Amino acid sequence: MLGKYSEGEDYKVVAVILAGFFYDEQTRMIKRVVAEAVSRHYKVVFFSTLSDFFYNDLNAAGEKKIFDAISVERYDAIVLMSETFKEDTEQLALVKKANSVGVPIITVDKSFDGCINLAFDYGDAFREVVRHMVEDHGYRTINFMGGIPGNSYSEERLAVFKEVLSQNQIPYEPERIYWGYFWEDPTEVAMQKMFADALPMPEAIICANDAMAMTVCKCLQEKGYRVPEDVAVSGFDGIEMERYNYPRLTTGIRNVDEFIHMLFDIIATGEYKSDENGKVLIYNKMQLGGSCGCTNLEAVHVTSEMAKLKAELIQQIEYQGNLNQLIVNLGHAERFTDIIEAIPEYASPLRYKTFWFCANTDLIEETEISTQSQKHVYMADNASYTRSMNVLRYCNDGEKPKTDYWKSMEFGELIPDRKRQLEENDFLLVLTMHMKGRAVGYTAITFDLDLFWFTAYAAFITSFRQLLEMQKAQMELMRVYMCDLLTGLYNRNGFYQKIQTLLQMAEEMDMTVISMDMDGLKHINDTYGHAEGDEAISALGSIIKASIHHELAARIGGDEFLIVFVGKDIEGRTEEIVELVNRGIRSYNETSGKVYDIHASIGVCTNHVKNHTLDDFLKKADDLMYAKKYLNKKERGDI
């Protein structure tokens, strides 16, 4: 087992896993976690996704591979923001792995066995809000805007509402319960129903979250009701948009600072106190605003904020246009290197420091279609990433962005030069790269929290993935166009495309053409069937591949093969290849167990490239091959 990243260091390294890093709430969480980690001299690696798996589709299948990118044994602790994910299978597998290697794992707001389960105490904070409305303000005719019927959070808040009413001798009226499903549009429908009902208008409306409370305020004001003078309103959960509401909401807010402080205390000491349900509770806070009748908080200056948001939106639209142009320009790139070289231009506006693309070794053979050899790809223990990774690094240090080309790295090292990078940076952000639900690598990035463009990075990663998919698809199409599917060698199209490049580079060199024709293929087809004939051709193709290194080999017809290569003093290599092919044929005949043997006639032409055409080489090699074929037939008594 590999050692921990913190081994021999004076800091601990913590993995934090969450969905949707680019959402405002998650971005704020990341910043607060980093601030606390820095104060304690910890390092944090954030693993995140672009989706929460709500739609359990092909994209989600690829996004879930982020969990396989986490080498759990190498961290001092793992923090799983479990409520941010809507599907638990991968989370449970991660918990099992962490438990097996003794790494503490902490979940937040969704409990799993084998974990330290932290939970925000929404019930007590909501109880405080309801009591404030009932006991401090004296409201007694109260409507309740619930979330989703049957949802645990919604039902918990409804139970608290009933409890406070009962404690204050206020009758519970089921007809004053409405359902806004935690979102704006259903809340508007519920409000129209409330206006249409024959019930007297309430003194107050208590809402199960802020999104519904803001919609309730809007609907009341559109009908001419004042908030709070005519109808008071309260919300819950303290979302970012509440800052723009007028009046500001009385609401419950998550005590994020206390949560993060408690989280790192547990990591540092291993000590915690859980309730009877096995949860470590974080008590939330009530925020008093003007919506209930208390002194109003200062709302964000909407005009200036709108101008700022408009500028950001324009910038975002412009950047998305640039990414669209990237797809148009490079969607049909002939070489993977074309994409690599263009990335710095489109990534630099993100204001990152260093960006790594850690690719599985089987992703793409740079600039070439690999047809000449069987490639063995060894998978890491997680089975999603190859044991060896090809790493591409981009540096954006204020001058012209620089690109470092492929560098090999073992999976589990996270990034090359990890030790120095963790010394210089307090955190990394890691995202998976996937195609059609299959992991092809991951990205890691360092950046300044105050400068980094989180939302644009999400858009960039989406475009980068799309480019890789298009490149891979094009490579597969070219493989079909240029590759013989039976043998894995080049076909006639591939041969003539590659040989032109070879000839242009080799005018002052010698070239060898080895022409090869299988003997007796018609007899095998007629006697044993075409399936056996295909197997015989495939066997000869395998023998040819095993006999060459970087030479160009092709099946240009039914039983016709060519091997071509250039260089200086290549006669010895020519004889070696011919001998290896003949030896391979003899070995196959001795061990295959077939009732027939395979044979091949071989002709060779070696000459200086200059002043000779390709047809000269091919004709000379063919003539010698056919002469050899005649002698072989005569030797076997076929003629």
| Domain final residue, candidates 114, 148, 181 | 114
Give per-residue pLDDT as tens, 587-627.
999 999 999 999 999 999 999 888 788 999 999 999 998 88
The token pair that represents 515 in the structure block: 């022409």
Separation of alpha carbons 423 and 474, rounded Å: 41
568 shares a domain with 474: no
In a domain, 175, yes or no: yes
95 shares a domain with 244: no
Would you call 521 exposed, middle or buried from its count of C-beta atoms within 10 A (0-12, 13-18, 19+)? buried
150 shares a domain with 20: no
| Domain final residue, candidates 93, 114, 135 | 114
In a domain, 378, yes or no: yes
- Please report, for the domain that includes residue 177, its CATH number: 3.40.50.2300
pLDDT at 243: 86
In a domain, 429, yes or no: no
Alpha carbon dihedral 366, 368, 372, 375, in 10-degree steps, equals: 20
The token pair that represents 460 in the structure block: 């960039």
pLDDT at 115: 96
In a domain, 230, yes or no: yes
- Please report, for the domain that includes residue 550, its CATH number: 3.30.70.270
503 shares a domain with 472: no
pLDDT at 473: 78
At a CB cut-off of 8 Å and minimum separation 6, what does 293 contact? 137, 228, 232
Contact 585, 598 (CB under 8 A): yes
324 shares a domain with 224: no
459 shares a domain with 568: no
| Domain final residue, candidates 262, 292, 322 | 292
Q: Which residues pair with 102 in a beta bridge?
A: none
pLDDT at 374: 44
632 shares a domain with 519: yes
180 shares a domain with 137: yes
The token pair that represents 76 in the structure block: 């001092």
Would you call 477 exposed, middle or buried from its count of C-beta atoms within 10 A (0-12, 13-18, 19+)? exposed
pLDDT at 68: 96
At a CB cut-off of 8 Å and minimum separation 6, what does 418 contact? 5
462 shares a domain with 335: yes
pTM: 0.75
pLDDT at 15: 98
pLDDT at 128: 95
595 shares a domain with 527: yes
pLDDT at 241: 85
pLDDT at 1: 63
349 shares a domain with 465: yes
Contact 409, 402 (CB under 8 A): no
Please give the residue range of the domain that contains residue 352.
307-413+454-482
Kindly give the parts of the chain with pLDDT less than 70.
Answer: 1, 296-305, 334-335, 364-377, 398-402, 405-406, 636-639
In a domain, 511, yes or no: yes
474 shares a domain with 333: yes
The total number of structural domains that make up the chain? 4
In a domain, 555, yes or no: yes
In a domain, 402, yes or no: yes
